[in-house]
Structure 1
Amino acid sequence: MGNDVNLNRLAVFVALVRAGSFTAAAAQLGMTKAMVSQHLLRLERELGVTLIVRSTRRMALTEAGAAFHTDCVSLLAQAQAALERVGGQRSKPSGTLRLTTSTDYGMAVIAPALAEFRRLHPSLQVDLVINDQINDLIAERFDLAVRIGWLRDSSLRATRLGGFRQWVMAAPAYLAEHGMPRRPEDLAMHGWIALSAMATPLRWTFTHGNGSRRIVRMRQIMQANNAAAIRALVLAGGGVSVLPDYLVQEDIQAGRLQVLLAQYRLQEGGIHAVYPDPQPPAKVRAFIDFMRERLAKR
């Protein structure tokens, strides 16, 4: 019978013992004296033991009732603590924030951002996993992923954090040897370093400020599988390629790389937080707000 016990009756039983009478317990619980009595009777029936002996003037715990009361007090205290812990996760960042992102964006943007975020929330632990695979957030127990580019169809929730521009880049030493391209079509004569992870790494659409569009197919001389490797190859004068703005801003300011065909724009990419929980905990909401504000200042 114990498996059929209504756990709500445990709280009524503990309140009854604490109050010392059916009348006082009814007042504390906001129910009638008859309802309190019914809860006790049904609890005893479900357990198959007598918990309280009562007369018209007094009540007392049986031996079984006293032992059961001790267990109920402990059980209800544990349940309350569990509820408070869950509620705390909803209202205050706590526990461990486990997130994943791509290698280049993780090293260039997310890792420095997490250092600052951790200073704002010193009680929070952080577990950052960077790779160029699309992780299964649920199976691998990630709180969220920061994904760069264009989102695939997914049952996961997504929040846009910001965006990034793509620029055609080359090193000054390469341009000194091979010349400066003046039109998008000129790029077809240069050595192109392709990002192999892209669906069409050699076909690019350039949009002029006047709205006209030009599509160019590049001549590949090298390829690599992530943007950080492409950057290293371009810095070394190996050729021309497209790189995201977040990866090359310091290189441009220092004169190590040069933006080509600045009057044209390539398709802009998005930066999204993707997460499985329809009601994300406070640590996830806080990080999303933090990143959105941080990227808006870039």
Structure 2
Amino acid sequence: MKLPDFEAWGVFAKVAESGSFGQAARDLAVSPGTVSKAVARLEARIGARLFHRTSRRLALTEAGLAARDAAARLLAEGEAAETQASAGAAAPRGRVRLAAPMSFGVMHVAPLLPDFLAAHPGLTIDLHLSDAVIDLIGGGFDLGLRIAALPDSSLRARRLCTVHRSLVAAPAYLAAHGRPAHPRDLAHHACLGYAYLPSPDRWRFLAPDGTEAVAVPGGPLRANNADALAPALRAGLGLAVQPDFMLWDDLAMGRLERVLPGWSPPPIALHLVTPPGDPRPARVTALAEYLARALSAAPWAQ
């Protein structure tokens, strides 16, 4: 019986993850020619092309898409086996691809990374920031942070903490326009909207007794990033629903105030998500555990 070409499958997994023969070569510390030969060897063995190649673009073929997840698991299991066999003597090495929401990533993830990288000189991090929902598997990501009520999916999710949200406004806005007493009053106020809410045209609020109210917001500005709303919010142009991790300093300094304290948007949480399958490479586990500890203990998470 002829053994599978494990080396070629590992190289294929790296190319599929990075979307580049050159990047895979850098990650593996081999020449681009070695990567090309390994993939060509594998294609000859299975009798099918794994990539569509042009001078500007690399894309998986149907055969490549079908083989990608199994190859990634094979590579992860091989890395885990080596880690276990070395009894933890070797420090984690390699690249971790991490996806996070834009504002949260800039404010609360990026400041954590220097200490982690200093403690793990063999690791590199490819941080991708976007408020859109990222396809971790299709995008080749090892790890993601998501702030939402997560739907059922094949991803593995670890809940880190509740993310509280509040309706807020600047003192100047409230002095000029008054305070709404009930969510229905928001129909008569300027509201600043966040486009990536599950229902941006409807704001849901819950009272402590479980009563639900829905407001239909309208106002001068809607954006697909919460940071973009902050200047207008502080300038007194309207009210907005914002997460506490965005508001922490503004509330403490009095630049913003909570409105409708008896009502709150439905709860959401910060989750750490990873593609399915075990075991995870040591490099991914190291970053996941570090982020879980640090973010769970953040002041706004308490």
- Normalising to structure 2: TM-score of the pair? 0.65
Checking the alignment, whether the CA contact within 8 Å between 1:89 and 1:281 is kept in structure 2 is no
**What are structure 1's unaligned runs of at least 5 residues?**
8-81
Checking the alignment, whether the CA contact within 8 Å between 2:79 and 2:281 is kept in structure 1 is no
Distance 1:83-1:176 versus aligned 2 partners, 3 A rule:
closer
Aligned residue number for residue 31 of structure 2: none
1:281 maps to 2:281: yes
How many residue pairs match? The answer is 222
Aligned residue number for residue 93 of structure 2: 94
Trace 1:8-157 onto structure 2 (pairs within 5 A): 87-88=82-83, 91=88, 92-157=91-156
Distance 1:118-1:4 versus aligned 2 partners, 3 A rule:
closer
Distance 1:236 1:197 in 2: 22
Checking the alignment, whether the CA contact within 8 Å between 2:219 and 2:238 is kept in structure 1 is no
Distance 1:172-1:139 versus aligned 2 partners, 3 A rule:
same
Checking the alignment, whether the CA contact within 8 Å between 2:166 and 2:243 is kept in structure 1 is yes
Distance 1:94-1:172 versus aligned 2 partners, 3 A rule:
same
Distance 1:188 1:110 in 2: 36
Distance 1:275-1:214 versus aligned 2 partners, 3 A rule:
same
Secondary structure, aligned partner of 1:219: coil
Secondary structure, aligned partner of 1:264: coil
1:105-145 Cα shifts (integer Å, max 9, x gaps): 11111111222322332332111111233333234321111
Distance 1:199 1:137 in 2: 20
Q: Percent of counterpart pairs with the same letter?
A: 35
1:220-256 Cα shifts (integer Å, max 9, x gaps): 3321112121223212222111001111101111111
1:75-118 Cα shifts (integer Å, max 9, x gaps): xxxxxxx9688523895432112111111111111111222322
Distance 1:162-1:120 versus aligned 2 partners, 3 A rule:
farther
Distance 1:191 1:157 in 2: 39
Checking the alignment, whether the CA contact within 8 Å between 1:162 and 1:292 is kept in structure 2 is no
Give the counterpart letter for 1:190 in structure 2. H
Secondary structure, aligned partner of 2:137: coil
Aligned residue number for residue 21 of structure 1: none
Secondary structure, aligned partner of 2:293: helix
1:206 maps to 2:205: yes
Distance 1:85-1:236 versus aligned 2 partners, 3 A rule:
same
Checking the alignment, whether the CA contact within 8 Å between 1:165 and 1:269 is kept in structure 2 is yes
Secondary structure, aligned partner of 1:133: coil
Secondary structure, aligned partner of 2:139: coil
Distance 1:267-1:87 versus aligned 2 partners, 3 A rule:
same
RMSD between superposed Cα atoms in Å: 2.8
1:188-234 Cα shifts (integer Å, max 9, x gaps): 21101111222322322322234333222223332111212122321
Give the counterpart letter for 2:263 in structure 1. Y
Trace 1:124-203 onto structure 2 (pairs within 5 A): 124-203=123-202
> Which has the greater radius of gyration?
1
- Normalising to structure 1: TM-score of the pair? 0.66
